[in-house]
Amino acid sequence: MSDDESANVLRRFATVPLPGPLDSPPPSVNAEVEFGARSRQGTVRSGNHDHYLILRLGRDQETLMTSLPAGDIPQRFNECGYGMVIADGMGGAGEAASRLAVSTLVHLAICFGRWNLRVDERIADEMTDRAERFYRSIDSTLLRATQRGSGVLRTTLTAIYIAGTELLFADVGHSRAYLFRDDELMQLTRDHAPDHGRPARAVIMDPADRTSRASRIETETLGEPGWGAPRIDIERCGLLNGDVILLCTDGLTGVAEDARIAGALRSRRTPDDQCRALMDLVAGSAGEDDATALVAHYRIRA
C-alpha cells in the first residue's frame, strides 16, 4: 500500500467512533485556571486552625520514540483538572483536625480516585458517590483519632473539583463556596446552621478556646462524636468563561457581607491580590477568628 493510500485509510477510520465499552466522553474544553490563596490567623488563638489545598491533576501522553510519520499521532497530549479544598478546625484540637482532614482527602484521591477529566451524567454520578465515600472515610478517621485521645477532632470541609466546564462541590459545615459571574455573587454551598431543619447538636467546647461560643455552633462537622453520620452536600454546576470561584472560611463571611466580598472580586486584579483584599476586610473589621480565602479565575482558551 502506498503512502497516499495509507493516509486515505487513516483519514477514513479516524472519524469512526470506538465501539461499546471503549466509548468515552469527548475531550474536555481547554480551560486555564489561575489561583490565589491567603490565610490570616485570628487574634484569640496561638495558631491558625484553617488549612487549605489547591492542586492540579491530569492525564498525559508523550511520544518518546516511533516509526510513524510526523502528524499521524500527537507528540504530546494533556488534560487537566483542578481541586480546591478548605477546612476550618473547631475547638482546641482544630488545627490538627483540619490538617488531618485535608491530608486524608489527598491520600484517598491518590489511592481510590478515578482522575475523571471528561464528565458526562454517568461519570458525574460516580464522582458524587465517590466524594461521599471520601467524606465518610474522613469522618471515621477523625473519630478514630479522637478515640485515641488526641482531643476532639472536628472540622468543616469544603472542596470543589473543576474538569472542563464542570464544577463539582462537596461541603460539610459553614465554610462557603461562591461563584462570581456577570457581576453577581452566588453562594453555592448552604451553611449547616441550626435553622436548616435539624436541631443544633451538643458541641463539646474546649475551655481554652475562646472562639468556642454559642454563636459558632453549627449543625454539622466532620468528626463530631455521638451524633451519627454528618449531612454531606454534594452538587455540581456548569462553568462559563470568565467565572470567578471563591472558597472561604467563616472568619471572612462572619465579618464581611456579600456586597463587600463581591467588591473585592469585581476588581481587575490577580487572584492573589483579590485574596489579599479579602483578608484586608477581615483586618479592617477586627475579626477575631482565623480567615482563609481561595480564589480561582476560570478562562476557556480559544
At residue 14, the pLDDT reads 52
Tell me the CATH number at 126.
3.60.40.10
b (16+ CB within 10 A) / e for 59-86: eeeeeeeeeeeeeeeeeeeebbbbbbbb
> Residue 20 domain-assigned?
no
Average pLDDT of every residue of the chain: 85
Domain that holds residue 284: 29-60+77-300
Q: How far apart are CA 236 and CA 170, in angstroms?
A: 9
For the chain, percent of residues with pLDDT exceeding 70? 81
Q: What pLDDT band is residue 203 in, cutting at 50, 70 and 90?
A: very low
At residue 5, the pLDDT reads 63
> Residue 21 domain-assigned?
no
Total domains, the chain: 1
Q: How far apart are CA 37 and CA 58, in angstroms?
A: 21
> Residue 195 domain-assigned?
yes
53-65 pLDDT per residue, tens = 999 998 889 999 9
131-173 pLDDT per residue, tens = 999 999 999 999 999 999 878 999 999 999 999 999 999 999 9
> Residue 3 domain-assigned?
no
Q: How far apart are CA 293 and CA 248, in angstroms?
A: 4
- Collapsed DSSP state (helix, strand, coil) of residue 21: helix
> Residue 242 domain-assigned?
yes
